Amino acid sequence: MKYIFVTGGVMSGLGKGITTASIGRILKNRGFLVTAVKIDPYLNIDAGTMNPAQHGEVFVLKDGGEVDLDLGNYERFLDINLTSKHSITTGKIYRAVIEKERHGDYLGGTVQIIPHITDEIKRRIKDAAESYTENGRKADVCLVEVGGTVGDIESMPFLEAVRQLVGELPKSDIALVHVTLVPEDNMGDHKTKPTQHSVKALRESGLHPDVIVGRCITVMSPSTKRKISDFCDVPSRAVITAATAKDTYEVPIEMEKEGMASVIMDLLGLGERSANNDWYRMVTVEYTNRITVAVVTKYGVEDVYISIKEALKHAGRKLSTEVIIKWIDAENFTDADFADVDGIIIPGGFGPRGIEGKINAIRYARENNVPLLGLCLGFQLVVIEYCRNVLGWKDSTSEEMGPGKHVIAILPEQENVTNLGGTMRLGDCEIDLKKGTRIEKLYGATKIVERHRHRYEVNPAYIAEIEKAGLVFSGSSGTRMEVGELNRDSFFLATQFHPEYKSTPSHPSPPYLGFVEACAKSKRV
């Protein structure tokens, strides 16, 4: 097993996750089997309880792990399915060590950050790397992204664990990539001082980078690279520019041009291999069409909806259709805001804020034959809108939102849940699709597996009446309604599951493909 550790300097938000995923893609295009681990140095056990407006989307893995959005980037870039093991947090590490201490496993010893915490970190990294298989084959390379910024108190035990691994593993089994900021001054000159300082901070942790990735707006000149090389003891060829790309999927292509592949393969003794460029071709297919899609949101931060954005992009590339997103504030819009869009998406969400606006947007789509895709909460609101405006049950709502007729009710197993962390209906689940419905045609199957993250469901007491009124529940798992659609020409479909979590450039999600195709067909603008 070879390890590539990716650390970050200067500031957060430099695109370490995309850099990590891109290095993985570069190796994958050369036939290596790659897996990836994200370390988040916060004390939360997982991302499930974190406010998405602060932290970005909570990504959901097949085993139900609620994790940082970077794991979504790894899955999309690398076409892999990760598990909760691939998300390591300070919370998980300390909990495990403290549980062992209570159990008496340390036999009276004093439990300390070194060696007990660092041992637990190393054990978990190795376990995540070694346990990953695809068709019975183990990974060749494991990427490990250390979240946070070098110099933070929080990430110190993780950097110490990496330092120990450098000493323990053969030199050719481990490479360190440090991502830093290389700002440009008014004259357009690249400034290397922040990089010098962050490499210095890294060295204080006992780590020496093998590769420096400089995030900048334009490509660094050879003389800037030489300067970084001189100050930071890294060969010039291992100073790689990560200039701002048009699209994140183009980052690996840019890194190829910078010579990342041979630098990494030399460091890890992986020999010479040329790349299969099919993936690069796929993510740069020319657009011949363009649509505008409204996403009605309450959080107002694009990172909250990253999987939806990416799923639209995947479907769009497949159909050579550029998808422009118009973000609509659920609490502040009028019907006129939809005049220039070709379709409407109602994404997932929690709590009552913004739901009346979302319900109005659904009514608009239903009445005006505008393609509509509802996701999770969006599915529940499709049901509520139908009950209110077609069945005439004006007080219909979800139990989550307050008093009224609860056409959406709490899942039975959720009734007595008091802990919020990791207790929703989460992860992969098998779903049956009704033959002859739109959803079944989109998937081309009557059994599918998709991921969930919710606590409420369509109230079984009302299913028959709602269906009688014309809303078709075309997907279900047991007694649980999973898909709702209208049997009509214009696309009107909503899912209780989140199809965006499984969408990748190579396998665009069927509901998204259907939606984008419908928008392109009925294009209004």
Residue 264 CA to residue 462 CA, distance in Å, equals 59
Residue 495 CA to residue 387 CA, distance in Å, equals 17
Kindly state whether residue 455 participates in binding ligand GLN, applying the rule CB under 6 A: yes
- Contact region for ligand GLN (CB under 6 A) — 38-46, 98-106, 322-330, 449-457? 449-457
Strand ranges (DSSP E) for 455-496? 456-458, 471-477, 480-486, 492-495
Question: Any idea which residue has 């020409």 for tokens?
Answer: 489
Among 72, 147, 349, 511, binds ligand GLN (CB under 6 A): 349
| Shortest Å distance, C-beta 252 to ligand GLN | 31
Residue 496 CA to residue 483 CA, distance in Å, equals 6
DSSP state of 116: I
| Shortest Å distance, C-beta 346 to ligand GLN | 10
Residue nearest to ligand GLN (CB): 348
Kindly state whether residue 451 participates in binding ligand GLN, applying the rule CB under 6 A: no
Assess whether 103 carries a catalytic annotation.
no
Question: Sheet harboring 471-477: ordered strands across?
Answer: 321-329, 289-297, 343-346, 372-375, 492-495, 480-486, 471-477, 425-433, 447-454
Assess whether 232 carries a catalytic annotation.
no
115 prior amide bond cis, ω within 30: yes
Kindly state whether residue 72 participates in binding ligand GLN, applying the rule CB under 6 A: no
User: Which of 142, 31, 137 lies closest to 86, judged by CA?
Assistant: 142
User: Which of 11, 14, 10, 32 lies closest to 23, judged by CA?
Assistant: 32
**232, 376, 387, 429: the active-site residue:** 376
Nearer to ligand GLN, 88 or 494 (CB): 494
| Shortest Å distance, C-beta 183 to ligand GLN | 38
Kindly state whether residue 376 participates in binding ligand GLN, applying the rule CB under 6 A: yes
Assess whether 498 carries a catalytic annotation.
yes
Residues 6+ apart with CB under 8 A from 82: 35, 36, 61, 62, 65, 71, 74, 75, 132
Site for ligand GLN in 456-495 (CB under 6 A): 456
Nearer to ligand GLN, 279 or 456 (CB): 456
DSSP state of 236: G
Nearer to ligand GLN, 21 or 306 (CB): 306
Binding residues with ligand GLN: total (CB under 6 A): 10
Residue 60 CA to residue 67 CA, distance in Å, equals 6
**55, 452, 454, 498: the active-site residue:** 498
Give the per-residue contact string, 379-418, with ligand GLN (x = CB under 6 A; - = no): ---------------------x------------------
**120, 254, 457, 500: the active-site residue:** 500
Kindly state whether residue 426 participates in binding ligand GLN, applying the rule CB under 6 A: no
Among 30, 358, 366, 453, binds ligand GLN (CB under 6 A): 453
Residue type at 470 in one-letter notation: G
Among 48, 348, 484, 514, binds ligand GLN (CB under 6 A): 348
Record the tokens describing residue 75, joined without a space: 């899955």
Q: Are 62 and 497 in contact (CB under 8 A)?
A: no
Record the tokens describing residue 90, joined without a space: 């300070």
Q: Interface residues with ligand GLN (CB under 6 A)?
A: 348-350, 376-377, 400, 453-456
Give the catalytic positions in this structure.
Answer: 376, 498, 500
